[in-house]
Amino acid sequence: MKVSVLSALRTVTLQDRPMPEPGPGQVRVKVAAVGVCGSDVHYYVDGKIGSAVVQYPTVLGHEPAGIIDAVGEGVNTLAVGTRVAVEPASPCMHCEHCLAGRHNICPSVEFLGTPPFDGIFMEYRCMPAHCCIPLPEGMSLIEGALLEPMGVGLHAVTLAKIGFGETVAIFGAGPIGLSTMMAARLAGAKEIYMTDLIPERVAYAKDLGATDAVNAAETDVTDWIAQKTGGRGVDVTFEAAGQQQTVTQTCETVRIGGRAFIIGIPTVDEFTIPMHVCRRKELLLQQVRRANGEVFRCMEYVAQGRIPLKKLATHTFSLDQVPQAMELVHAHQDGVIRAMVLPHGDLD
């Protein structure tokens, strides 16, 4: 079977590996669709995210869906042929954070495509059976793969405890910013303002339900939000670009006593924050880390037609085109939102 192997910075080759056999409690997944995440691109271009440094050779990819292809000993919950979303995180389940229900911050988590664990840009991969969640009738495999990034947006909105009628600003209209916007809408946000530097993403934000969106290259974002809110600022801000400028805006545009959340993954190790702005407002400033079991809620929202998840997938690539997919996402070319790798072609 074919595997897309990263052997050095920006160096990916297709290699043959023996077909994996599922061990006890495992299933073998025929990988149907894998989203190309910004974090994959960080590892591909920079070889690291903070202290998480790639050990070559490795395999990236952590937003998968597929079809159960074989089941190991003791697995009686999944049958061959079942279409599943694959949860990329295997938390330890016994540390204080796992026991408190915060599996997404487990320090011992094994997460697909994050050093030192291989990801899933490959034709087949064995996974613990409990990571595979059957897709409801009518949900496509591409939608199944998009549940993972959507879960991050839903998790951010859950942490923010958005109340009915609140106002929101989101800086960055990539897949995570857009997911956060759609989740905020479902939570009852009244007005949602978004920004991006890419014209197609600004248009996408409006199309998917933002109240208004502007290009931050052409508009003073802090003034714009002040104008929109009569100088008050919004109740909740989300940073979803991983840039210094957007971190600053996240603090500047939220109201006094508001809540500000940083979701984006930066390439640098440190940012500054406008301390006196945050201090005078007595801001709640919180980080968001991945998702925490939101896949089930996401699935339900998509099944009910309340999230147009499919629209996030703008490009598809075959397994041998992983480098092209990475370069496209890195350069934000061609209006890309989520590029999808389909190791077996279109199985939907």
Verify binding: residue 265, Zn ion, rule CB under 5 A. Answer: no
CB of 86 to Zn ion, least distance (A): 13
What single letter denotes the amino acid at residue 110? E
CB of 231 to Zn ion, least distance (A): 36
The interface region with Zn ion, picked from 104-112, 157-165, 217-225, 315-323 by CB under 5 A, is 104-112
SS3 179: helix
Look up residue 243 and give its two tokens.
């840039």
The contact pattern for Zn ion, residues 23-42, with x = CB under 5 A and - = no contact, is --------------x-----
Verify binding: residue 106, Zn ion, rule CB under 5 A. Answer: yes
Look up residue 3 and give its two tokens.
């595997």
Which residue lies nearer to Zn ion by CB, 106 or 150? 106
CB of 175 to Zn ion, least distance (A): 8
* CA–CA gap between residue 168 and residue 290 (Å, rounded): 20
The contact pattern for Zn ion, residues 70-99, with x = CB under 5 A and - = no contact, is ---------------------xx--x--x-
Which residue lies nearer to Zn ion by CB, 206 or 289? 289
The interface region with Zn ion, picked from 101-109, 164-172, 215-223, 278-286 by CB under 5 A, is 101-109
CB of 33 to Zn ion, least distance (A): 14
Which residue lies nearer to Zn ion by CB, 47 or 91? 91
Verify binding: residue 326, Zn ion, rule CB under 5 A. Answer: no
* CA–CA gap between residue 335 and residue 124 (Å, rounded): 30
49 Cβ partners below 8 Å, 6+ apart?
A: 39, 42, 43, 265
Which residue lies nearer to Zn ion by CB, 258 or 266? 266
CB of 151 to Zn ion, least distance (A): 10
Look up residue 260 and give its two tokens.
């500000």
CB of 145 to Zn ion, least distance (A): 10
Binding to Zn ion in span 127-186, by CB under 5 A: none
Contact 215, 196 (CB under 8 A): yes
SS3 118: coil
CB of 103 to Zn ion, least distance (A): 7
Which residue lies nearer to Zn ion by CB, 98 or 157? 98
Which residue lies nearer to Zn ion by CB, 104 or 167? 104
DSSP type of residue 333: -
* CA–CA gap between residue 148 and residue 160 (Å, rounded): 19
- Give the binding-site size for Zn ion (rule: CB under 5 A): 6
Contact 228, 191 (CB under 8 A): yes
State residue 204 phi and psi, 5-degree precision.
-60, -40
Q: Which residue do the tokens 């595997």 mark?
A: 3
In our burial notation (b when 16+ CB lie closer than 10 A, e otherwise), range 87-124 reads: bbbbbeeebebbeeeebbebeebebbbbbeebbbbbbb
CB of 193 to Zn ion, least distance (A): 24
Which residue lies nearer to Zn ion by CB, 183 or 225? 183
Look up residue 174 and give its two tokens.
């990539």
Give kind and range of the element (H or E) at residue 250: helix 244-252
Which residue lies nearer to Zn ion by CB, 22 or 38? 38
What single letter denotes the amino acid at residue 66? G
CB of 116 to Zn ion, least distance (A): 17
Which residue lies nearer to Zn ion by CB, 101 or 305? 101
* CA–CA gap between residue 7 and residue 318 (Å, rounded): 19
Q: Which residues bind Zn ion (CB under 5 A)?
A: 37, 91-92, 95, 98, 106
